[in-house]
Amino acid sequence: MLSNLVSRLSKLRKTFSHTSEASLEVIEDVLIQADVGVKYTSIILQKLAKTKSNVLVVLKDEMIRLLSLAKPELEGEPPFIIMVSGVNGSGKTTTVAKLASLYSQQASVLLVSADTYRDAAHEQLNIWSRRVGVEIVGSQKGQDSAAVVYDAMGKAGSKKIEYVIIDTAGRLHTRTDLMEELKKILRVVKKFKSGGPDHNLLTIDATLGQNSIQQARIFTEGIGLNGLILTKFDGTAKGGAIIPISNELHLPVLYLGIGEGVEDIIEFEPKDFVHALFD
């Protein structure tokens, strides 16, 4: 897992390789280049300026600290509901397929196609469900997505499914009508599970760096997320933005997408991640 992460983070690792010089000026440059942002770079540098220990050790510790936000656990009775939202093309459908693959190694999984907007959205998820070998509740374009989720929740109950993973339509954070649609889906989930989805997750395209914070904030305010998935981490040198994104939104990162294949997902562990950047 760690070696996989190391190879997929090559772009970001290249930026961080310069920290071996260990001067504060170089480290500052690296953090800014990696899109850690001015605010968090200065928080980190203040720590480094004060330390009498090895600067690199403190840098790693501080990055780990900034990434260690408490994660929502999957506790209690199944089915566990995982819902994935996000802007268009941020990697939702690929991510739900990856999660289905991950969870289906040990448990029963139902994929739910609640993207009833995009042409062939259902077909895309259908292909994934066959490839991964899990059941799917499909939909038609134009159908009421909340009704699709209602059917899926019923099916999950009667078939004793353990993980229900809901793919939703891509939407810009500015489309209030589409944000209402997500709220409607949430209300349906709450009829079956009063706390709502166990994991209410947003996919964020990591190649956009800090630019996605504002749109993510509007999702957070609209639908009360409890975690993030940063996708396309394999293709970015700006992955340091994971620090401001997670801290500004007060949301833990649960997974990283590190490629287009169904196996290309990694459970986010701050220590492994930071060590993979440096070592």
Q: Nearest to residue 278, comparing CAs of 1, 48, 57?
A: 57
Asked if 101 interacts with ligand GTP (CB under 6 A), we say no
Which of ligand GTP, Mg ion, none binds 260 (CB below 5-8 Å, type-dependent)? Answer: ligand GTP
Asked if 168 interacts with Mg ion (CB under 5 A), we say no
* Site mask for ligand GTP (CB under 6 A), range 141-180, x = bound: -----------------------------x----------
Helix (H, G, I), strand (E, B) or coil at 265: strand
**Backbone phi and psi for residue 229, each to the nearest 5 degrees, phi listed first:** -125, 120
Task: Decide: 159 and 104 in contact? Cβ < 8 Å.
Answer: no
* Site mask for ligand GTP (CB under 6 A), range 235-254, x = bound: x-------------------
Q: What is the DSSP string of 121-170?
A: HHHHHHHHHHHHT-EEE---TTS-HHHHHHHHHHHHHHTT-SEEEEEE--
Task: Name the strand (E) or helix (H) holding 111.
Answer: strand 109-114
- The span from the CA of 232 to the CA of 90, in Å, is 9
Structure-token pair, residue 85: 């939202």
Q: Could you tell me the smallest distance in angstroms from the CB atom of residue 170 to Mg ion?
A: 6
- The span from the CA of 182 to the CA of 129, in Å, is 23
Q: Could you tell me the smallest distance in angstroms from the CB atom of residue 94 to Mg ion?
A: 8
Helix (H, G, I), strand (E, B) or coil at 203: strand
**Of 59 and 216, which has the nearer Cβ to ligand GTP?**
216
Asked if 138 interacts with ligand GTP (CB under 6 A), we say no
**Of 19 and 246, which has the nearer Cβ to ligand GTP?**
246
Most distant CA pair in the chain, distance: 62
Which of ligand GTP, Mg ion, none binds 227 (CB below 5-8 Å, type-dependent)? Answer: none
Segment 63 to 92, residues that bind Mg ion, using CB under 5 A: 92
SS (H, E, C) 8-30: HCHHHHHHHHHHHHCCHHHHHHH
Segment 44 to 73, residues that bind ligand GTP, using CB under 6 A: none
Q: Could you tell me the smallest distance in angstroms from the CB atom of residue 125 to Mg ion?
A: 8
Asked if 181 interacts with ligand GTP (CB under 6 A), we say no
**Of 51 and 124, which has the nearer Cβ to ligand GTP?**
124
**For ligand GTP, which residue of 258, 266, 274, 277 counts as binding (CB under 6 A)?**
258
Asked if 93 interacts with ligand GTP (CB under 6 A), we say yes
- Interacting residue ranges for ligand GTP, rule: CB under 6 A: 86, 88-94, 115, 118, 121, 170, 231-232, 234-235, 257-260, 264
